[in-house]
Amino acid sequence: MDPGEAARCWAHEWAEGWRAHDAERIAALYADDAVFRSQPFREPHSGPAGARAYAEWAFSEEDSVECWFGEPIVSGVRAAVEYWAIVAWQGREQTIAGIAVLRFVEDGRVAEQRDYWSMQQGRHLPGETWGR
């Protein structure tokens, strides 16, 4: 699969999986030996099972989410994708703004993912040029 197509598929599936709190949909995006770091200093998650476990943990604390993913920036087998989310949790809203740096295998699944993100209390929408 073309890396640009793989990155757009990843963004679409992550958005739909996150909105539905569907950890299986997220797990299906990762190669068997994938390495997924949800933050730079956290221990990595391995393969689909690791991605599923991370998603289950993250989704368990969310009441609801609105999320957006930007247009991927692609170079070779790698891509960077911005994301933005407003998460409702215990009656409060938090905004997450981040970027995923991805590397894909030939079938379009993720071989490696590193996320960098920040969280702010309250509801903050992305700016006009965000994600382009």
Domains in the chain (CATH in brackets) are: 3-121 (3.10.450.50)
Task: Report whether pLDDT(86) > 90.
Answer: yes
Q: Is the pLDDT of residue 89 over 90?
A: no
| CA 52 – CA 41 distance, rounded (Å) | 19
102-129 tens-digit pLDDT: 999 999 999 999 999 999 999 999 988 8
User: For tokens 């991605």, what's the residue?
Assistant: 51
pLDDT value at residue 61: 87
Question: What is the structure's pLDDT at 128?
Answer: 87
Task: Report the pLDDT value the prediction gives residue 71, as an integer from 0 to 100.
Answer: 96
- The predicted pLDDT at position 132 comes to 81
| E strands, the chain, in order | 30-37, 45-46, 64-69, 73-75, 78-89, 92-104, 110-121
Report pTM.
0.93
CB count in 10 Å sphere of residue 94: 17
Residue-averaged pLDDT of the chain: 96
What distance, in Å, lies between the first and last C-alpha atoms of the chain? Answer: 22
pLDDT range class, residue 16, cuts 50, 70, 90: very high
The secondary structure of 9-35 as a DSSP string is HHHHHHHHHHHHT-HHHHHTTEEEEEE
